[in-house]
Amino acid sequence: MTGASDRKPSVTGRIDWRFALGLGIAVLLAAAALLASWIAPFDPNRMGVGPRLAAPGARFLFGTDEFGRDLFSRVLVGARLSLGIGVGAVGGGLLVGGLIGLTAAFSGRIVEVALLRVVDFLYSFPETLIALSLVAFLGPGTANAATAIAVGMAPVFARTVYGLAAVERGKPYVEAASLATTSPIRLVRVHVLPNIVQSIAVLAMLGVSSAVLSAAGLSFLGLGVQPPASEWGLILVSGANYMHRAPWILFFPGLAICLTVLSLNLIGDGLRDMSDPRHARTS
């Protein structure tokens, strides 16, 4: 977020093609997740709706898994958990991280230094390590995985939100507003937040994409969502076990993850360039 300091007033009227494409894919995926129960041709958890390890065809679009469950239905319904964990974790991480970042930026030198030390400490380790360390002790499960991912991402959010807020803090309009308003909470809510909300949106988009990846990774390791639920990372486990006999089990959930991550990255990149023309030129 280098160009955040001299960002021009937002919408320039031009819609970035990446933003449009990403949004299109994301809307389709979200619709699939929300309408899964109606679209899915079979009960995703019912075994033996077809032969075991059947190849993709007209009846079973994505084929079947080792228990004869319909993969198309499982991938479709799996979108709910995968996207749900991603969005939930970013929501939680952004709330906690954002509050820490804003607090650091607007509450005096001592609090600022103390919070930044803690944030920088956590920031120097991979998010995955933090998430794994937490889930190791909390135990596996959907809610624990989401919590762990949220905590893993919080330092990134805290640091970025702090960076954005610290830039605004030095601007004349904030100084003027701070003379006119009494409470720092009001200052942040009314004056600062509206000016950094677009950059935070970019951050959130990219965050969801990495959270979806982490969630799938944790489930794949057996530390996230537990069977028999359908979640993309979990389906990939049987994909790995039946790799040579039924490669389609590996292919479709992986493709779903790729599409999700791609669409969110496109939205994030497009949104950033749209709101920050200077950045568009250099990167």
Q: To the nearest whole angstrom, how small is the minimum distance from the Cβ of residue 190 to other proteins?
A: 34
Q: Does 38 bind other proteins (CB under 8 A)?
A: no
Among residues 266, 267, 271, 274, the one that binds other proteins under rule CB under 8 A: 266
The whole-angstrom separation of Cα 250 and Cα 248 is 5
Least distance from other proteins to the Cβ atom of residue 175, Å = 28
Residue 172 C-beta: closest distance to other proteins, Å: 27
Residue 209 to residue 263: CA distance in whole angstroms = 8
Q: Are residues 238 and 117 in contact, defined by beta-carbon separation less than 8 angstroms?
A: no
Neighbouring C-beta atoms of residue 168, cutoff 10 Å? 19
The verdict on 225 binding other proteins (CB under 8 A) reads no
H helix runs in the chain, sequence order: 17-34, 36-39, 71-106, 109-123, 127-138, 142-169, 172-180, 184-186, 193-221, 232-241, 247-275, 277-282
Residue of the chain from 6, 9, 58, 124 that contacts other proteins (CB under 8 A)? 124
Q: How far apart are CA 135 and CA 148, in angstroms?
A: 6
The answer to whether residue 262 forms part of the interface with other proteins (CB under 8 A) is yes
Give the total of residues touching other proteins (CB under 8 A): 41
Among 132, 166, 177, 201, binds other proteins (CB under 8 A): 132
Among positions 239-258, residues that touch other proteins (CB under 8 A) are 239-240, 243-244, 247, 250, 254, 257-258
CB 120 → other proteins: shortest distance, Å?
A: 9
82-111: contacts with other proteins (CB under 8 A):
none
Contacting residue, 72, 162, 220, 248, with other proteins by CB under 8 A: 220
Of 209, 95, 213, the C-alpha closest to 158 is 95
Indicate left, alpha or beta for 139 from its phi (over 0: left) and psi (-120 to 50: alpha).
left
User: DSSP code of 3?
Assistant: G
Q: How far apart are CA 272 and CA 4, in angstroms?
A: 10
Among 40, 81, 135, 204, which residue sits at the site for other proteins (rule: CB under 8 A)?
135
Residue 133 makes contact with other proteins by CB under 8 A: yes
The contact set with other proteins (CB under 8 A) reads 121, 124-129, 132-139, 209, 213, 216-217, 220-223, 236, 239-240, 243-244, 247, 250, 254, 257-259, 261-262, 265-266, 269, 282-283
